Chains A and B, each alone.
Chain A
Amino acid sequence: MEAINIRYSTMAMLYGVLLIPIIISIVLKLGTVKTILISVLRMTLQLGAMGLYLDYIFRFNNVWINSGYVLLMIAVANFTVNKNAGLRTARVFFTLMLGITISTLIVIALFIFLSIRPEPFYDARYLIPITGMIVGNCMRANVIALERFYSSIRKNEKEFLTYLLMGASLREAILPYLRDAVKPALAPMLSTIATLGIVSLPGMMTGQILGGSSPIVAIKYQIGVMIAIFTAITMTTVLTLLLSMKTSFDNYSILRKDIFRQ
């Protein structure tokens, strides 16, 4: 069963529907008309480009192109993490990249290669969208974890020093901050998992059902993906924090101030 295609004329009509929020914005003087137009334009261009290159990637379905694309996704996500966590890219980029790459690859191996087992194993139809979902969530979790971890050690400099003076090794001294950083990074995904199917109908499942899959197949994928994402974000936050310590603390186990953008 194929999904019903949306005609270009219908697409034009859908864009026309945007007049409703635009009129509301004008009437209430929300001042968001420009932002709406720019955002919709950006979405159209970004998704248009994505549609084109995904079409291209799916057609070639080459192991090197697919792997390269996965790495590109990870690298772009990592740039975003660096920027939004307020860290200097030059200082921590490679250690963070290592953390997110290791955890993503382990989860992809477990979920796609061992569970779904597509033929060929690098099949872009599975590898690209599933990796995208995993990396996107890892990115969000890493931003929270890194920002919390480093800003909290920076803010509690004397507390951190007290732990070191009580005999804690660097690993032992960072542990309370690591816990306080990882928990909020995992919390949104945990509550999403708990309310899935009640509060929200997951996007992936909806997409699969619209695409013609049976609801049971769609649910199996959705559960698998949620487990994969949660495992990946747990691994990536802990691993990224631990790996980033190598470059973020000086020889005296004191947090380097030059890792921060400001």
Chain B
Amino acid sequence: MVKFDKVTVEYDGKAILKDVSFHIRENEKAVIYGKSGSGKSTILTTAVGAHIPSGGKVYFNSAPVSADNILQIRRAVAFIGQEPVLGAEKIRDSLLLPFSYKVNSRKAPPEDKISKILKELHLKEDVLQKDASVVSGGEKQRIAIARALLLEKRIFLLDEVTSALDPESKQAVIELFGKDGYTIISVSHDPDWFKTCSIFIKVENGKISRISDSPDDSAFLTHREIDTDGSN
């Protein structure tokens, strides 16, 4: 489904990713881990064409990512970062923002679908009336997930998606993405999140140093430990 074949990404002449190769098939759940600044998030953003590789190729459903198919790929993939962008002042507007775009204009979700998804993510209905500026980081992450679910996305790129969630909401998110039907490439250091994943990719200095069906000991270092470990 998503394949990196010897992908190198450079910025200002410096390689951020070097010869990165992996293959995530449909319904598989992968987690990328490693020190901060090692290139984990760049892998996610490269997958959706935010960086054009200077070497190697990215494939989606066996087709190389190109200018011709990037729009379709982006429409199939959700990217949820640590601080998701809501893009509107009111939460309801932010949930419905994608449906203001031409391509989704006929797919506006019915109210009961919105309610069902909010419930699934442990979000109260009254969150819809709130201002984006007053909701917590954890709520923002779940609203961004809800929006992607309203768009019926099945491929999720998740960057530390459980980092701001309380235990109960985290459980709800983990249960949701643990289901079949979702293909996931994530970046995380959360042991609970790791339990939902079956592919563990370790990144060091822009290179993949290990791909396995279980993480190594460095996976659960906290951010503090990672930062004092000599990385940036």
Contact = CB atoms under 8 A, between A and B. Distances in A.
Interface string B83-113: 0110100000000011001111000000000
Interface string A153-172: 00011110111111111001
Interface of A: 156-159, 161-169, 172, 176, 250-254, 257
Interface in B45-63: 45, 48-52
B48 A161 contact: yes
B161 interface: no
Contacts of B45: 158, 161
Contacts of B33: none
B70 A166 contact: no
Contacts of B71: 169, 253
B102 A166 contact: no
B2 interface: no
B29 to A, nearest CB: 19
B119 interface: no
Contacts of A158: 45, 81, 85
A149 to B, nearest CB: 17
Contacts of A159: 85, 87
Contacts of B98: 166-168
B147 interface: yes
Contacts of B116: none
B25 interface: no
Contacts of A252: 49-50, 52, 67, 70
Contacts of B51: 254
B101 A168 contact: yes
Nearest to A158: B81
Given A252-B67, A252-B70, 13 more contacts: A157-B50, A161-B45, A161-B50, A162-B84, A162-B85, A165-B48, A166-B98, A167-B74, A169-B103, A251-B52, A251-B66, A252-B50, A254-B52
